[in-house]
A and B are shown apart, each in its own frame.
Chain A
Amino acid sequence: MIEVDINKRIKTYKGWEDLRVKAQFDIGKVTQITGPSGAGKTTLLKMIAGLITPEKGMIKFKDTLWFDAERKFSKRIQERNVGFVFQDYALFPNMTVEKQLAYGTSDQAYIGQLLELGEMEVFRQHLPAQLSGGQQQRLAILRALSTKPDLLMMDESFSALDKELKSKLLAKLQALFLVQGTTVLLVTHDDEILDPSPAVFKMEA
């Protein structure tokens, strides 16, 4: 179980607001996080990853404490073993497709497996700038998986993929999640439907 009970003042287009989240997510499962824009979906993911510090509350992953405001404790990002697919992909402009994956793992066989999963083998030596939007998005997903994270966070990670590609990729990803026991938090638009439909956590604005 991932337990989240946090409080953070965030700046939205309406001014400063209090973001309060109290939730529990199942380990080894995919949870879809939905809600209108400005509800704090990205902020929630970043707080769980350790990229943003909440003002109050605590975050627990399985039995390990990741964050506790009262004790002023925050586990280092690097030690949380999370994978994060950023909305803007955050691909390293200086690294080829292969190098981006090699930055996360030295296991060549696994790199090959990831490239095959994302149908990116022919782009091994390409830089991000030479890839289309959909290819960049797939690379961002593969790169987040390169470290075999315990918890994968995906922020609107299928927005640039067409329907057919998306369902094909999702099926392959879900098989990989099962093998690696990955817990997945997936931020999507309100109306996005995933197949098979996972548990849904809805955030209110």
Chain B
Amino acid sequence: MVLTLTPRGLYCEAGDFFIDPWRPVPRALITHGHADHARWGMGRYLATDIAAPVLRHRLGDVTLDTVRYGETRRIGGAQVSFHPAGHVPGSAQIRVAVGGEIWVVSGDYKTRADALSTPFEPVRCHAFITECTFGLPVFSWQEEARVAAEINAWWAGNAAAGQFSLLGAYSLGKAQRILSLLDPAIGPILTHGAVENTNAVLRAQGLCLPETVRVHPALKAADHPGALVLAPPSALGSSWARRFRPGTTGFASGWMRLRGVRRRRGVDRGFVVSDHADWEGLNSAIAATGAETVYATHGYTEIFARWLAGQGYDAHVLQTEFTGESLDEAEPEPEAEAEAESEAEGT
């Protein structure tokens, strides 16, 4: 076994390191910056150079070493390399080779390209530890251009009716992806502090995002008629959002594929935008690895593992503490921090 599951996380004995551990460990390899994968308290961190700025922004002053995609590092008896996962900028799959046996930890991944993240690359391996957040045949995503057209039409329609468009999206990854889809000719784009802070980090490392206006306490909504307001989902129902009236709400998530979930959220519109692979994406990615053994982690693990077993894989469930694009109220990023931030801004 190249990797084993321990109470602190996925462990590589040969290299004496953990991948995305959920308890403090001396040495952690991090696939990407979402809070369920990159936690505070590790002795040393290793991540891609592209993921590093966000990690520093979120974790503060930590000991962080970086690596480029495809570059091989030797750690103890293991050879380690990071490969694009297409999930958020800098996100990686981590390949671990020990004595000729190759394992890959997918982290979170998306197989379709977007404008910001380095596109997913399949990595051949013997064992593949895959997420399966959307591992059911009911999940299939539309072409990026179609979703962009839907969102822009919604925004333009609201603007023409004199309404603000409040769109909920997680502040790391999803929000910037939405920004890349928006047509700035429709109107101004306002951002919640949590979103704008991440924007600033990504812009500083050279990512190209459209012009945005941070929502300050003194900002007058009336000065920005027809604006699209991009905020973390938790901010939409809060007092923070109240100044944008009259307004219509939307939420961008893979879960919006399901009407029931959208209705429970109580938003007017759901846009099916996910940073995870859909059913087809998961299956094609797994096939491309050539792996014989597949471990399904966060998501519909039992169902997905049973399906894979039926397809001839040696498939298992791996019980981790990752949450993926969570359906429950707990979100895969520090929303509490976002709230505190909006409080601090005096809203």
Q: Do A and B bind each other?
A: no
